Amino acid sequence: MTRAVVPTDLRELVRAVGAALDGSGPPVAPAPVLAAAEPDEGVALVLRTSGSTGAAREVALSASALRASGEATHARLGGPGHWLITLPATHVAGVQVVARAHAGHGLTAAPGGEPFTAAGFAALVHQAPRGARRYVSLVPTQLHRLVAAADAGEPDGLDALCSLDAVLLGGAATPAALLRRARAAGAPVVTTYGMTETCGGCVYDGVPLAGVRARLDPGSGVVELAGPVLADGYLGDPAATAAAFRTDSNGTRWFRTSDLGRVGVSEDGTDDDVAAVLAAVDRDGVAEVDERGPGRLTVLGRADDVVVTGGVNVSPAAVEDVVAGVEGIGEVCVVGVPDAEWGATVVAVVTLVAPAVAPPVVPAELVEAVRRRVADRLGRAAAPRRVVAVEDLPRRGPGKVDRAAVARLVAGLGPAEDA
pLDDT in tens, 137-185: 999 889 999 999 999 999 999 999 999 999 999 988 888 889 999 999 9
Residue 282's pLDDT is what? 56
Q: Of 47-51, 161-165, 228-232, 314-318, which range is least confident?
A: 47-51
How many residues can be counted in the chain? 419
CA 13 to CA 288: how far, in whole Å? Answer: 37
CA 379 to CA 357: how far, in whole Å? Answer: 29
Count of H helices and E strands in the chain? 12, 24
Please, where are the H alpha helices in 152-284? 156-162, 176-184, 238-244, 274-281
- What confidence category does residue 418 fall into, taking pLDDT thresholds of 50, 70 and 90? very low
Residue 301's pLDDT is what? 83
Residue 267's pLDDT is what? 59
Q: What is the mean pLDDT of the chain?
A: 89
- What confidence category does residue 419 fall into, taking pLDDT thresholds of 50, 70 and 90? very low
Q: Is residue 75 scored above 50 in pLDDT?
A: yes
The H-or-E segment that residue 412 falls in is helix 403-412
- What confidence category does residue 329 fall into, taking pLDDT thresholds of 50, 70 and 90? very high
Burial of 387 (0-12, 13-18, 19+ CB in 10 A): buried
Share of the chain above pLDDT 90, in %: 62
CATH number of the domain located at residue range(s) 306-412 in this protein: 3.30.300.30
pLDDT in tens, 397-412: 666 788 889 989 988 8
Q: Of 11-15, 71-75, 216-220, 246-250, which range is least confident?
A: 216-220
pLDDT in tens, 259-311: 988 887 665 555 545 554 554 455 566 788 888 877 889 898 888 888 889 88
Q: Which residue has the higher pLDDT, 276 or 50?
A: 50
CATH of 1-303, one of 3.40.50.12780, 1.25.50.20, 3.40.50.2300, 3.40.50.800: 3.40.50.12780
- Cα-based torsion angle of the residue sequence 36, 39, 44, 50 in order, rounded to the nearest 10 degrees: -40
Compute CA 25 distance to the chain's CA centroid, rounded to the nearest angstrom.
30
SS3 44: strand
- What confidence category does residue 395 fall into, taking pLDDT thresholds of 50, 70 and 90? confident
Residue 78's pLDDT is what? 96
pLDDT in tens, 114-124: 889 999 999 99
Residue 122's pLDDT is what? 97
CA 290 to CA 20: how far, in whole Å? Answer: 29
Phi and psi at residue 103, to the nearest 5°: -90, 0
Q: Spell out the residues 6+ positions from residue 399 whose beta carbon is closer than 8 angstroms to its own.
A: 87, 139, 140, 141, 142, 171, 172
pTM as predicted: 0.83
Q: Is residue 125 scored above 80 in pLDDT?
A: yes
Domain ranges of the chain: 1-303, 306-412
Burial of 289 (0-12, 13-18, 19+ CB in 10 A): buried
